[in-house]
Amino acid sequence: MSGGLAGISCLVTGASGFVGHRIVQMLLEEEEDLGELRAMDKTLSRQLLQTCDRFQSKIQVKALEGDVRDAEFLQRSCQGVDLVIHTAAIIDTTGRISKDTLMSINLNGTEKLLEVCVQNNVQYFIYTSSMEVVGPNINGDPVVNGHEDLVYESILGFCYGESKRQAERAVLRANGRDLHNGGALVTCSLRPTYIFGEGSQFLQLHLDQAIQNRGVFHRISKKEALANPVYVGNVAWAHLIAARAIKDPDAAKKMAGNFYYICDDTPHMSYSDLNHALGKELGLGVEGRLAMPYPVLYFLASMMEMISFLLRPFIRFVPPFTRHLLILVNTTFTFTYRKAQRDMGYEPRYSWEEARRVTCSWMASIMPQRKESLKKK
């Protein structure tokens, strides 16, 4: 099942992103016999280009700059490709991005990429989904150690989760589609839980807020609202394991058209307590309770959303927090990776202690510049 990717041409979309760049790094480090790696993004980051340059002498690496909604660009990018790992997406937790933009990138871009893959005889397609395709739902119904067969009343109240859910459905429906060369497309979807680690934009945002709050993280989630954090290195590792396994006919029969929750052995804790666990060695604390009782915060979020709606014809007002965000960070929502373990042989590569240590070191490295930057604002 772990025969490697020797001779394979692999395209990674969203390669400049938090997860995508880590997948690119891991593929280049672990798959020395990879035939070719194409790293694609709308904007190629300096870090991605440096990573590509570092491995040029060992593996053929191409950096491709273009939009996932551009069919002609996708045609050029997918010619001769065997495997696509599709991480490209726009993430929105606050409602700053319009529904049209979310759907055009996350859903329509994915649909176009699937069509191009069929036209170019791309045999394998791995989609980076999200825990938010299932919830938490608008009622805040909890899940404890959920699994892929769980029946959950998934009434979503936010466009990002809906755009990812529809895109995932398109990916899984495409499994088995006939290719022009007589083969068939094999697809699967990976659903990471909340991802933390070096380079996380959300963790940097929380760090900035803690710096401005005299070294104390704001309490955004109740202590008893347990989340299921997963280290970014383990998410990238899961993609590599899936890519290796999906080439094996026996494993592919199990994986084809299926989705998998991806998490690791990080202790279940609230989002706020995760921030504290990662930053306490830097002298950072965390508030003991929410700024206001949860029902009051929920009422305020409702009022701000109503004001935003009423002002929409005149000005764009984005509330600092929404009901969706409150539910997301204050609902116990945890899963198990047993099915990924059983079907594709996934085991977390990095322990919680190692993940915590390297993430803390990254936070320490950016703190001085973040303090200086925040002083100037």
Closest by CA position to 298, among listed 191, 167, 115, 157: 157
Peptide bond into 320 cis (omega under 30): no
From 160, 231, 260, 271, active-site residue: 160
Residues 6+ apart with CB under 8 A from 91: 160
Known active-site residue 231: no
d(CA 127, CA 125): 6
State which H helix or E strand residue 61 sits in: strand 60-65
Q: Which residue has the tokens 């891991």?
A: 26
d(CA 114, CA 86): 10
CA dihedral in degrees (338, 191, 14, 177; nearest 10)? 90
Handedness of CA 118, 113, 200, 203 (dihedral sign): negative
Cα–Cα distances in Å, from 111 out to 95, 101, 107, 124, 182? 23, 15, 6, 15, 21
Query: In the 8-state DSSP scheme, what is residue 32?
Result: T
Among all residues, which ones are annotated catalytic?
A: 160
